[in-house]
Amino acid sequence: MKNLVFATGNSHKLQEVQGLFKEGFALSCLKDVNITEEIPETADNLVDNALQKAWYVYKKCGIPCFADDTGLEVEALNGAPGVYSARYAGEQKDSRLNMLLLLKNMTGKENRNARFRTIIAYIDENAQEHIFEGEIRGKIIENMAGENGFGYDPIFVPEGYDKTFAQLSSETKNKISHRARAMEKFLSYINSK
Ligand code: IMP
């Protein structure tokens, strides 16, 4: 068994990611390694934030560890909310308020192109850093639709689909998502070791 800590307290994310791992991995989350405090995420870009989280956990528990950081980047808003996606509408990190603010800021914008981008930072057993990236392009629609998923899912329609992430099944989202694509790269790396 290879022990790995996923530096997340988000149960949605743990669920999504667990289904992507093959046998032979014992995956723990932060609670399992007794990290209950909020991990600082103070960088101004996704790579440094992911590295900050992964190092924090690695230094505390000494187990190989990966952390992800995701942003929704909207073309017409010059890449916002980006690294600030979780707290776009304020420190309360409320998905509904974040979406309402985004929709307001998109009023009258013809260019609805956006992408989700995920960075995974992995610190291996030799304390070496590795970075993996995944993205999915799509469009921001004008009104929320769908109940599944989390975050900005109800207003994001992935390229090649006519439904939002929140209307698609979790199986479909898990196949095509930014996080799934970054995870595929990460898994193919650790499986080849
Ligand atoms: P995190 O870095 O994964 O915590 O993501 C930061 C923020 O981006 C989250 O709080 C969500 O608002 C948004 N986000 C991340 N992943 C997704 C997703 O798969 N769907 C919708 N929103 C997401």
pLDDT tens by residue, 115-127: 999 999 999 999 9
What pTM did the predictor assign?
0.92
Residue nearest to atom 14 of ligand 1 (CA): 151
**pLDDT tens digits, one per residue of 37-89:** 999 999 999 999 999 999 999 999 999 999 999 999 999 999 999 999 999 99
Q: Is position 69 annotated as part of the catalytic site?
A: yes
Tokens of residue 99, six digits: 């979406």
Q: Which of 68, 69, 94, 124 is catalytic?
A: 69
Write out the residue range of the structural domain in which residue 159 sits. Answer: 2-191
Structural domains in the chain (count): 1
Question: Judging by DSSP bridges, how do beta strands 65-74 and 2-6 pair with one another?
Answer: parallel
Q: Pocket of ligand 1, candidates 15, 44, 85, 155: which has the most ligand atoms within 8 Å of its Cβ, to mutate? A: 85
For residue 26, the domain's CATH number is 3.90.950.10
What CA dihedral angle connects 188, 120, 52 and 102, to 10 degrees? 180
